[in-house]
Structure 1
């Protein structure tokens, strides 16, 4: 069918882009100049078309200092791949809060000239929404683990006390024995129900599809440990310590899955650390990767169980110090999540001295 749109269709496209807050641009690679910017550009980027057309370098001045090197890396990738989608950077605008902008760019050639063509859109509200979800998800995970340990303990105490009563009451009537068995059985069911609920939350979070984004891993680890310090310090009678760099460290992760894996490592440390013990999270920032360490001064892992620790339904599964049960899936799922991020996990452990788990993942 022949195109019947009038010549003014360009103006309609301009208005459409403005309605959806999409800032379209064309950049001449040889001249290092912007050749075209639509009307929505100022609203999205915070710089007038006239200013950007006169000096394209002013756009880079708007970018958050922590994102400069990242943006340059994406530019280099763009030269090789030809197209880059979903490049998210922060802009620092005078008198405003940080703004998140998502760029999608392609390299096009015309008449021997090379251009970068694409669009930018304001994704600040979406990023704030995602950050709130992640924050509350982290608190939910920590709270569940704390409650699972704290609530399971009374059930275990009931079971233990009923066992003591059985030895004390040798000549109890059949009705009394039946009642004591009923109490023991229901205490065990209650304890198992709590642990099953937490385990199911972890299993549901470990689906294989990753949705990776660039995140400040220091911020996420700080939130996780703060939750344990503030919510679990008194209830669990353990010390939670975060030894983390003060500067941001950026890594590409599926935040929910990755942080759930780390949360599960902390949970394991809780299970096998005595009351008043210490659980520490630290991070080593390398050139191309980060190594996250979760250590405890607990009972450690017996040497004969260490080779099979990461096996599915492993024989290394053990009850926790307060009787927390294990189905032997947790460590294999953690390993799977780390490997999906192209990372590695290993550990060092000595009986009676504690354990340290190392998780290394690439930054990009």
Structure 2
């Protein structure tokens, strides 16, 4: 039930975290799309304003020329007169001449009062009619004095229509007709266009790089910025220079090469905060999950430790009880030799239990840094030989052997002889315990630079990669099934690691399943 609850808790926490991340991603995408729409709206306003200003600037230019003509002729048009206006423009580069004429004809109409159902006399009403002619002459020397010449134009465009308001309508009509016959480069320059677009964008708060170009009937013209490239997702267009019929052959295109970067920059601060908070939640979640797993693992290790410890104590206690029962036997109590043998058994088993308790206390003191480890100069080979002596009885019982290979020429190290002897005894005992056949142990020493290396190699069960990483953890024992043929409680190698590290050394293991293990200790030499 606890495992099920733990898995359910982990699943719910994981789903919640994934949900938070997905909500953040959804919010980011929505905000990005909203910014994109807002950007599109502002840009449409900008290019609309630019198109209007281009048209107005062109109108103002023609208006100045119109006033100049009016001032030079001294003729002020009157609404009830025939008004005929000529405009001549010559391009010295192309030798092309454009002549524009606009005739405003005033016609009187008599309309009966009965038509209006009003009581007044017959009145005169005026109707204005416009006739516009644009003529283009190529390679002909024509000026204002030669307007009346009888020359055949290369291009002739004639338009006519009614006028309701004479002054503004007349001017707009004739200037648009003239402008439509002019080359684009004479109507607008890329410098003026760039200034207009830049100013409008700055007013709308769009502070990002832009490129622009004018297309004529879907073909690029010379009026464009140097790095203009059409991009479907970042280019916006609008018709410019519309004629009197509302048609336009020109399109203004504005593209933003860093559009995505600009849109993201507006979200960067809130996005960074969002990522930071999400990372905090993720770290907190990972830490909490790690702690939960560690607590479960520690709980399992402690249970395993208690079971192993109970087993370790159960055997000597049972032996002591059997020995005491045997001594009580009337047939044995008078046999002094048997009594002494049973007393020796009790003493040995008592030592075993005492050693187990000492092991636990030693690790506890190491954890609290209460263990006093005084070091002095020692010959390493002497320490190794002493440790081998400690395990000789166990080794003889298993009919095993220890072979030494002392190849180190420098062997004086600074260490605590008691604790370091215990370190080697622990490693040798493990080598014996985990050898299912007759134990064959080899002990090597060698010098590498300013270090002395000790290797303890056995022909035991060996261990997997996972066990090699965790073998020096407290209470850890590799599972050997339910058989308690290998005694121990998982504290020996934890003690080994702490003591070796306290001597400024390193300890690690090289092993393979079924091929034995080699424990390696590196210690610094005394210079």
TM bin, normalised by shorter chain, reads 0.3 to 0.5
TM-score (norm 2): 0.31
**Which one has more relative contact order, counting CA pairs under 8 Å at least 6 apart?**
1
Larger Cα Rg: Structure 1 or Structure 2?
2
TM-score (norm 1): 0.43
